[in-house]
């Protein structure tokens, strides 16, 4: 019984250590899209492209113009924002 409890505790500790190590190797990219006059832009498409691999992640702004990309690995990215009726902006 004690051996089973210790094994479960060890497994839990290893899983937690792996999760913490993974969390330290990623970050979150957040931002706010504004249009002319500083007005927030809801429902804009926001895309980040990792330059060395070409990996793409896409999200959309919320009603307040905010966007969020969780679990982004370190690297150099290009950010593109687009919305029908407006020109695409790249940074």
25-52: b or e for each residue (b if 16 or more CB lie within 10 Å)?
A: eeeebebebeeeeeeebeebbbbbbbee
Write down the pLDDT at residue 2. Answer: 41
What are the residue ranges spanned by the domains of the chain?
Answer: 27-90
Q: Nearest-5° angle of CA 40, CA 35, CA 70?
A: 60
Write down the pLDDT at residue 21. Answer: 54
**CATH top-level class of 27-90:** mainly beta
Q: What's the rounded Cα separation, in Å, for the pair 76 and 91?
A: 11
What is the pTM for the complete model shown?
A: 0.69
> Could you report the average pLDDT of every consecutive run of 10 residues in the chain (91 residues)?
45 51 76 89 93 95 94 91 81 75
Q: Dihedral (C-alpha) 36, 40, 61, 28: value to the nearest 10 degrees? A: 100
């Amino acid at each position: 019984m004690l051996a089973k409890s210790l094994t479960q505790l060890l497994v839990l500790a290893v899983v937690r250590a792996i999760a913490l190590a993974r969390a330290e190797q990623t970050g979150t990219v957040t931002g706010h899209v504004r249009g002319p006059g500083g007005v927030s832009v809801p429902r804009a498409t926001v895309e980040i492209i990792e330059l060395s691999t070409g990996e793409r992640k896409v999200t959309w702004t919320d009603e307040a113009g905010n966007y969020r990309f969780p679990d982004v690995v370190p690297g150099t990215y290009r950010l593109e924002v687009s919305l029908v009726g407006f020109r695409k902006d790249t940074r």
